[in-house]
Amino acid sequence: MHWLISANSKIYDHASAFAHYGYIDWRQGNGKYSIDDIIYIYCTLPLKKIMYKCKVGEINMRFQDVRDDKEYWINESEYSNSLNGKYFRLKLVEQVDTENLKLDHLLQHGLKAAPQKSKKNTWRSSRIY
């Protein structure tokens, strides 16, 4: 299964976390993810484009089992809010920076709106990624 999730760089420094560790333990939320699912991460303002392709390595992790990444949280209250619930591990497969993955282009190729929450990737096209 392919998924699309959004990431806000004003809350968490995804780029540095991926650069330093190659993975992020992400709050699972309501997504019904499975091992080996592909997750595309859409970066919100100011970038407004998909920049990461990841693979789910683990699911249903407890907070006690995730890497403590407080250093990457820009918004400390959001970090505090993230301390419970289930997590899944996103292993970085590829980081990209291409015009084809900008929001304007994605909207022209079937994406209905900028991603706000996790959704199954039904618009995916080999022409885009």
Q: How confident is the model over 91-98, as a mean pLDDT?
A: 94
- Tell whether 40 is covered by a domain: yes
pLDDT bin (cut points 50, 70, 90) of residue 122 is low
Q: What is the pLDDT of residues 30-61, one digit of tens each?
A: 789 999 999 999 999 999 999 999 999 999 99
pLDDT at 7 over 80: yes
> Does a structural domain hold residue 126?
no
Task: Confirm whether 125 is domain-assigned.
Answer: no
Q: Judge whether 129 lies within some domain.
A: no
Asked whether residue 90 is assigned to any structural domain, the reply reads yes
Its pTM stands at 0.88
We report the CATH number of the domain holding residue 59 as 3.10.590.10
Give residue-wise pLDDT tens across range 65-78. Answer: 999 999 999 998 98
The 10 Å Cβ neighbour count of residue 83 is 10
Query: The domain containing residue 32 runs over which residues?
Result: 2-120
Residues 74-85 have a mean pLDDT of: 88
- Residue 127 domain-assigned? no
Q: How many domains does one find in the chain?
A: 1
- Residue in this structure with the two tokens 């990461």, named with its chain if needed: 52
